[in-house]
C-alpha cells in the first residue's frame, strides 16, 4: 500500500499558525444515510429518547432537508412531527414529499463512524484536539503553509484542507465543513460560514475584516446573555465589539470583557492541545472494490497489525486487547476482539490474533474495509505479562468494552493507507456565502 502524497507540504517559516476546525455536517443524520443509502436527499430526523412510532423525545439532529420544514435540534419530537409528519404515518392521499424519516439515536454506530473520521484527522495532523463526536481542531502549521500554491489562486493551506475534506468524504462517506485560520476561534467561525460541505479560509491579515460583519453572538465566548448585554451598549457585530472601549467592556464583564474584545479583533493566543493519552490505537484500510479474496484480506491484516504494533511500541504502550474491524457493504460494521491476561508488547501476537479473528468469522465474507486495533493501553513502566498465560475473552460476540476502548471511542488512530491523490476543485468563496448553523445536539464528547 503506497503512501499518499499530501498537497501543501512545503515548509513554512512564517510566524502564523495554521488551524483547521473540522465540523461534520448533520453528523447523526449522515451516519443514518451510510447504512440506509436510500435516505440520501430525504428529510431525516434523529431523535434522543425517541422510539419509532412514538411522539416523545427530542431532536438530536435534523438533515438540511428536514430543516426546510422548520425542524430544529433540541426541538420536541412532537413539534417536529407537527411540521414534518413521519412518512410511515401518511394517508394514501397525503404528499410524501412533505414527510420525513425518523430514526432513533444509535450512539455506538455514530462512535464507529466518528472513529473513522478521527483516524483521518490524526493521519493528517500532528496535533489534534477532539471537541465532540463531530468536531475537532487540527494544528497543521508544520504540515503546510500560507504561501500561494504554484497556480497562484489559493494558499497551500487551502489545498491541504481540501485534501482532508476529500479523504473524509471518500473513505468514510460523510461531509465535513472546514474553517482554516491563524487561530482557533476564527477557524471555528469560518467552519460554520458556508455550511454544508463548506471550506472557508481566512488568511493572516484578513482575520479582523472577516470577523467585522458577523453577529456578536458568533464571537467565541459570547453567549445569549452576554450578547443581550452587549446589545444594550450598541454592540451588535464583532466589528462593533472590536471598536468598543476595552476599559468599558472590562468594567461591565470583568477580565472576560477584555478577552472578548481581543477575540473580536482577531487575537486568540490559545494553542491546539491534544486531550489526554489514547486508550486505543488502530489502523484501517479500505479496498478499492469490495473483495472476498482471503489472501488479499490476510495481506491487509498483516500490514495493519504491523503498523499498529509499531505505533504502540513507539509510544511506550502495552495492550491487553487485540481486535479487528470488518466493514461489509454497504456499511455493516463488525468487530471481534480477544483479551489477554495482562498487558503485552508483541507485534507477532498482534498479527496472529488478528488473523485468527479474521479467519474465524470472515474468511469468506465480502468486505470493503478492514481494521486492526489494540486497546486497554498501559503506559506504566511495569513488568510485561507472560505470553504463556494469555486468555481469550471469546470472539463470537461483539464486546462493547473491546469494540471501542474504555471510553467508547478510539483516541488515536491513523487513516487508511490507500493511495489516491486528492483533487483540486475550487473551494467555496471564502469571503461570502450564506451563513447557517449546524445545530446538532451533542450526545457524547471525546475525552
Residues tagged active-site: 135
- Distance, in Å, from the CA atom of 147 to the CA atom of 193, rounded to the nearest integer, reads 23
Cell matching residue 128: 489534534
Listed in order, strand segments (DSSP E) in 26-153 are 44-48, 58-62, 101-104, 127-132, 135-139
Which has the closest alpha carbon to 378: 235, 279, 261? Answer: 279
Maximum Cα interatomic distance, the chain, rounded to a whole number of Å: 73
247 with 266: CB under 8 angstroms?
A: no
- For residue 203, what are the contacts with CB-CB under 8 A and spacing of at least 6? 146, 155, 182
Listed in order, strand segments (DSSP E) in 27-116 are 44-48, 58-62, 101-104
- Distance, in Å, from the CA atom of 235 to the CA atom of 230, rounded to the nearest integer, reads 5
350 with 374: CB under 8 angstroms?
A: yes
Tally Cβ neighbours within 10 Å of residue 270.
13
Amino acid at each position: 500500500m503506497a503512501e499518499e502524497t499530501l498537497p501543501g507540504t512545503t515548509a513554512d517559516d512564517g510566524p502564523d499558525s495554521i488551524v483547521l476546525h473540522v465540523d461534520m455536517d448533520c453528523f447523526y443524520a449522515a451516519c443514518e444515510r451510510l447504512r440506509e443509502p436510500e435516505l440520501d436527499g430525504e428529510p431525516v430526523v434523529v431523535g434522543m429518547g425517541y422510539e419509532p412510532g412514538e411522539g416523545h423525545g427530542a431532536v438530536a439532529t435534523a438533515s438540511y432537508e428536514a430543516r426546510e420544514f422548520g425542524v430544529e435540534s433540541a426541538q420536541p419530537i412532537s413539534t417536529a412531527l407537527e411540521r414534518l409528519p413521519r412518512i410511515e404515518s401518511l394517508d394514501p392521499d397525503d404528499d410524501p414529499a412533505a414527510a420525513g424519516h425518523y430514526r432513533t439515536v444509535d450512539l455506538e454506530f455514530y462512535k464507529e463512524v466518528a472513529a473513522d473520521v478521527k483516524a483521518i484527522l490524526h493521519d493528517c495532523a500532528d496535533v489534534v484536539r477532539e471537541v465532540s463526536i463531530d468536531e475537532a481542531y487540527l494544528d497543521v502549521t508544520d504540515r503546510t503553509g500560507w504561501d500561494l500554491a504554484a497556480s497562484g489562486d489559493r494558499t497551500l493551506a487551502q489545498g491541504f484542507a481540501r485534501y482532508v475534506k476529500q479523504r473524509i468524504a471518500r473513505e468514510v462517506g460523510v461531509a465535513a465543513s472546514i474553517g482554516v485560520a491563524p487561530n482557533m476561534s476564527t477557524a471555528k467561525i469560518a467552519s460554520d460560514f458556508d455550511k454544508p460541505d463548506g471550506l472557508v479560509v481566512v488568511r493572516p491579515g484578513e482575520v479582523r475584516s472577516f470577523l467585522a460583519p458577523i453577529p456578536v453572538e458568533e464571537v467565541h465566548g459570547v453567549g445569549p446573555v452576554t450578547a443581550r448585554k452587549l446589545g444594550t451598549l450598541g454592540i451588535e457585530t464583532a466589528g462593533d465589539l472590536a471598536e468598543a472601549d476595552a476599559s468599558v467592556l472590562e468594567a461591565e464583564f470583568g477580565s472576560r470583557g477584555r478577552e472578548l474584545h481581543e477575540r473580536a479583533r482577531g487575537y486568540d493566543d490559545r494553542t491546539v492541545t491534544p486531550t489526554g493519552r489514547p486508550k486505543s490505537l488502530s489502523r484501517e484500510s479500505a479496498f478499492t472494490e469490495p473483495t472476498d479474496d482471503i489472501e488479499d484480506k490476510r495481506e491487509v491484516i498483516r500490514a495493519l497489525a504491523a503498523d499498529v504494533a509499531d505505533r504502540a511500541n513507539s509510544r511506550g504502550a502495552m495492550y491487553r486487547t487485540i481486535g479487528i474491524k470488518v466493514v461489509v457493504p454497504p456499511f455493516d460494521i463488525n468487530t471481534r476482539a480477544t483479551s489477554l491476561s495482562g498487558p503485552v508488547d508483541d507485534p507477532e501476537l498482534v498479527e496472529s490474533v488478528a488473523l485468527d479473528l479474521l479467519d474465524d468469522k470472515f474468511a469468506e465474507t465480502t468486505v470493503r474495509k478492514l481494521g486492526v486495533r489494540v486497546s486497554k493501553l498501559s503506559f506504566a513502566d511495569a513488568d510485561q505479562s507472560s505470553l504463556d498465560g494469555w486468555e481469550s475473552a471469546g470472539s463470537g460476540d461483539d464486546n462493547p468494552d473491546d469494540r471501542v476502548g474504555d471510553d467508547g471511542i478510539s483516541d488515536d488512530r491513523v487513516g487508511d493507507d490507500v493511495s489516491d491523490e486528492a483533487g483540486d476543485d475550487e473551494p467555496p468563496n471564502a469571503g461570502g456565502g450564506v451563513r447557517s448553523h449546524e445545530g446538532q445536539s451533542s450526545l457524547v464528547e471525546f475525552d
